[in-house]
Structure 1
Amino acid sequence: MKAVVARELLKFARQWTRLVSALVRPLLWLVVFSTGFRNVFGVAIVEPYDTYVPYDVYIAPGLVGMVLLFNGMQSSLSMVVDRELGVMRLLLTAPLPRAWLLLAKLVATAVLSLAQALVFVAVAVAIGTDLPWWGPHVPMALLAMACTALMLGALGLMLSVSIRQLENFAGAMNFVIFPMYFLSTALYPLWKFQEADARWLLVAAQFNPFTHAVEWIRFAAHGKDPGMAPWVVLGCTLVFFAVACVGYDPQRGLAPKRQGA
């Protein structure tokens, strides 16, 4: 566990451009997108807010989720490379429990995701976004972010089971990342779907685990009760990780076996 996590941290420290690229996307949404749509949001007061809030304040938890989501998906890309050419290729042949190796990889991914999310929050506060960045609710918010990072990292591990080539990663981006993000409350509350009479989009958003992850972060950041969101996130984490463990089991693996293997 220590070796895998330390390796990922050292690799990330040498590739500082990864941090820049991870922050550019959400900061553009925070600065440009929220400015253009500042007057669109604010028609109604939604939980956990007790009054009207600027649009940049509303989407900030969703942008934290964006950082966690994209890093979790990038972990599946790195897992594909490592499994074929890197250290994971050797570790997966070692006489160690596959579940423990995958857990070490998952923890490393979550640590990196959480670190990037915290840097984004610091930058957002520095540029003037009014966020509840300090108070007794901070441990609850950190827990929500950490659990979301674990869930999305486990999702990345599960996807890496079936992604055998780097070229297929673009498909995962189009069919997993963007639907999860846009069919959630990251950019707009659920009543927007109701207002547009888009019932099937509303149902899809309600069943989207990323919706519950964003709501957990949003409610925790304001010290409010997140309801069932933590249980949905934790349950999905266990399911995704269990499927990944089965997929990486050489006896019961879900991934297609190579010729001659």
Structure 2
Amino acid sequence: MKFRRLVQLAAISVALTTAVSASAQQVLKVGSTPTGAPFTFLDTKTNTIEGLMVDLITAIGKDAGFSVQVEPMQFSTLVASLTSNKIDIISAAMLATAARKEVIDFSDPVYTYGEGLIVPKTDGRNYTSAEDLKGEVVGAQVGTAYVDALKKTGLFAEVKAYDTIPDILRDVNTGRLKAGYADYPILAHNLRQGSFPEVRLVESYKPATIGTVAIGVRKGDQELKAKINASLAKLKETGTLAKILDKWGLGGKGS
């Protein structure tokens, strides 16, 4: 009887330990943006942030043993929110640029692309580089790598900074802006939705700023970075990343 009692107590102890462990699973706050489809966007039906980078960080968390709480915020506030501990991870359409690497750390590469160029549909010129738009007023999203890169060329009469990519699309659509620069896959996705019928994505344009989207973590948070990289590598090997990319119309491409 004593032995049976000990076995029962041991079983109860294991069950309680497992329950406590499950309830104590680490919850990490993830910064994502309400604009930036297909990487991240606000689903108005559910009022939640959805997209490729949300699916990816959720899958990584499931594999690595943490759950995620997605925090919607403007793109320009992501890095500051991470460094001030308001969030723990950035999972958005953020390129791992040299300037950003001085402030935060990044995971291994997720997806590589460059900027796209949009102009009014009435403008049929086959632009290939920024030089073709010398002296014009162009726009780009604040906080992205494109704003500074465009300003440094010294080619433009003005480089307007916009809060969101849809804002750029609207001004090009109405003819208030000669041209706009933004992430190519996000522009392509927006135009496929048909909301900006007077805008054309210039297929002849060759991007000057090519970068890689990666997941951001705080400097020195090596344990979390290692967990993310290990799970990301597993998702690449199993084909899960390719499936996520394909789901969001990026053709299964990825680094």
TM band (smaller chain): under 0.3
Structure richer in helix, relative to its length? 1
Structure richer in strand, relative to its length? 2
TM-score by length of 1: 0.24
